[in-house]
Amino acid sequence: MIKLEGISKKFGDTTALENVSLDIKRGEFVALLGPSGCGKSTTLMILAGLLRPSSGQVYFDGKMVNNVEPKDRDIGMVFQSYALYPHMSVIDNIAFPLKQRKVKKKERYQKAREIAAMLQIDQLTDRMPSQLSGGQQQRVAMARALAKDPLFLLLDEPMSNLDARLKVDVRDEIRRLQLKLGITTIIVTHDQEEAMAVADKIAILQNGKIQQYGTPEELFMKPVNLFVAHFMGNPPMNILKCDFLRNGNERVLSGEGFVYNILSTKKLSSEFKGAKVVLGARPHHIQISKVQQENSIPAKVVLVEQLGREKLIKVLLGDNENTTNFIRILSPTDLNVTYDERVFLTLDSEAIHIFDEETGKVIT
Partner 1 sequence: MNLARLKKKSYPYLFLAPFAILTLMFFVIPALATLWMAATNLDRKMKADFIGFGNFQRIFADINILPIIKVTLIYVFFSLVLTVAFSLLLAICTQYLVKNKKLGALYRVIWLIPSTMPGLVYVVFWKYIFNPTPGGFANKIVMYFGLEQPISWFNDAGLLIIIIAGVISGASGGMILFSASINSIPEDVYKAARVDGAKDRSIIRDIILPALKWPIMYVTVTSTIGLFASYNFILLATRGGPVVDTTTLALYGYQQAFNRLEYGYGAAISVIVVIISLLLTLLLFRLFDFNKLIRPPRIED
Ligand X SMILES: Nc1ncnc2c1ncn2[C@@H]1O[C@H](COP(=O)(O)OP(=O)(O)O)[C@@H](O)[C@H]1O
129 contact choice in partner 1, Mg ion, ligand X, none (CB below 5 to 8 Å, kind-dependent): none
Please choose, out of 13-21, 39-47, 94-102, 334-342, the segment that lies near Mg ion by the rule CB under 5 A. 39-47
Minimal CA–CA distance to 356: which of 240, 277, 267, 263? 277
Cα 327 to Cα 314: distance, rounded to the nearest angstrom: 6
**Binding Mg ion by CB under 5 A: which of 41, 136, 225, 325?**
41
Residue 39: which of Mg ion, partner 1, ligand X, none does it interact with, CB under 5 to 8 A by kind?
ligand X
Among Mg ion, partner 1, ligand X, none, the one that 144 touches (CB under a kind-dependent 5 to 8 A) is partner 1
> Least distance (Å) from ligand X to the CB of residue 15?
8
Nearest to 301 by CA among 284, 318, 313, 289: 313
Looking at the chain, the number of H-run helices and the number of E-run strands are 8, 20
Q: Is 75 in the site for partner 1 (CB under 8 A)?
A: yes
Distance CA 221, CA 282 (A): 10
Q: How far is the CB of 131 from partner 1 (least distance, A)?
A: 5
Where in 103-132 is the site for partner 1 (CB under 8 A)?
127, 130-132
Whether 41 and 198 have beta carbons less than 8 Å apart is answered as no
Taking the alpha carbons at both ends of the chain, their separation in whole angstroms is 34
Q: Report in angstroms how near the CB of residue 93 gets to partner 1 at its nearest.
A: 9
Q: How many residues bind Mg ion (CB under 5 A)?
A: 1
| Residues linked to residue 188 through DSSP beta bridges, in sequence order | 32, 156
Contacted entry of partner 1, ligand X, Mg ion, none for residue 11, CB cut-off 5 to 8 Å set by kind: ligand X
Nearer to ligand X, 55 or 269 (CB): 55
| Interface stretch with ligand X, choices 40-48, 176-184, 218-226, 322-330 (CB under 6 A) | 40-48
H/E run at residue 2: strand 2-11
Residues across the chain:
364
**Pairwise CA distance, residues 260 & 294, whole Å:** 10
Q: Which is closer to ligand X, CB of 185 or CB of 189?
A: 189
Figure out which of the listed residues 2, 31, 33, 38 binds ligand X, where binding follows CB under 6 A: 38
Q: Dihedrals φ, ψ of 325, to 5°?
A: -75, 110
Q: Is the Cβ of residue 89 or residue 295 nearer to partner 1 in the bound state?
A: 89
**Cβ proximity to ligand X, 10 vs 314, nearer residue:** 10
Distances (CA, A) of 214 to 111, 147, 196, 282, 289: 36, 30, 11, 19, 35
- Whose Cβ is closer to Mg ion: residue 41's or residue 296's? 41
Q: Are 209 and 346 in contact (CB under 8 A)?
A: no
Say if CB 155 and CB 161 are below 8 A apart: no
Minimum distance, C-beta of residue 213 to ligand X, in the bound complex (Å):
16
Residues 6+ apart with CB under 8 A from 283: 233, 235, 237, 238, 312, 327, 328, 329, 330
Size of the site for ligand X (CB under 6 A): 11
**Bridge partners for 55 per DSSP:** 8
Residue nearest Mg ion (C-beta atom): 41
Binding to partner 1 by CB under 8 A, coded x per residue (else -) over 18-57, reads ---------------------------x--x-x-------
Single residue of 14, 67, 249, 320 touching ligand X by CB under 6 A:
14
> Tell me, what amino acid is at 151?
L
User: Using CB distances below 5 to 8 A depending on partner kind, what does residue 85 bind out of ligand X, Mg ion, partner 1, none?
Assistant: partner 1
- The single-letter DSSP state of residue 214 is E
What residues are paired with 155 via a beta bridge? 78, 187
Nearer to Mg ion, 167 or 300 (CB): 167
Instruction: Tell me the pairing of strands 152-156 and 184-189.
Output: parallel
Position 39 contacts ligand X (CB under 6 A): yes
Three-class secondary structure of residue 40 per DSSP? helix
Q: Is 80 in the site for partner 1 (CB under 8 A)?
A: yes
Tell me how far, at minimum, the Cβ of 50 lies from partner 1, in Å: 5
Contact residues for Mg ion, defined by CB under 5 A: 41
Contact residues for ligand X, defined by CB under 6 A: 11, 14, 16, 34, 36-42
